Amino acid sequence: MKTWLKVMIGLAIIGILAAFLVFKFYINKPHADIENTPAAYTISTAELWKQYKEDLKLSDSLYTGKVIEVTGNLARTDKSDTLVYAVFVMEADSMFGDKSVRCEMLPKFSAEATSIAKGTTIKVKGFCNGFDQTDIKFSKCSIIR
């Protein structure tokens, strides 16, 4: 019985140590610094939209999960409680809402994004989350000067 107890205590210690290491190095890892990460691709919003419309699977494999720099004419900025989105409208649709490239701005760029005039050509870098049949979505975006 004593050997069995020693084995169980040893397994418990190994399990606790493994749980701690998983938390420390996997769950608690720092967020990626998208603002300072070099862009994998530099592309215009019109060309990105065209590529997604022509071949969704290929475009998803190329762009989704990567840091991308896009250039386009700002159509508007949308605000929610704490988030600001830079919106580049690609297809106007009065029934279901515009189809667009939507960039969720980092908080430090929110004020700058809302101050940019509509129709201004801007360059934005962010993490591409993919296409949801309505919008190409980016998160953690910054304005490139």
pLDDT of residue 1: 63
Q: 23-31 long-range CB contacts below 8 Å, 24 or more apart?
A: none
Q: Class for domain 34-144, per CATH?
A: mainly beta
72 half-sphere exposure, CB direction, 13 A CA radius: 25
Q: What H or E segment, with its residue span, contains residue 123?
A: strand 121-131
The 10s digit of each residue's pLDDT in 58-104 is: 999 999 999 999 999 999 999 988 899 999 998 887 677 788 999 99
The 10s digit of each residue's pLDDT in 14-29 is: 999 999 988 888 777 7
Closest alpha carbon to 137 in 80, 52, 54, 79: 52
The Cα–Cα gap between 116 and 111 comes to 9
pTM: 0.78
Q: How high does pLDDT run on average in the chain?
A: 91
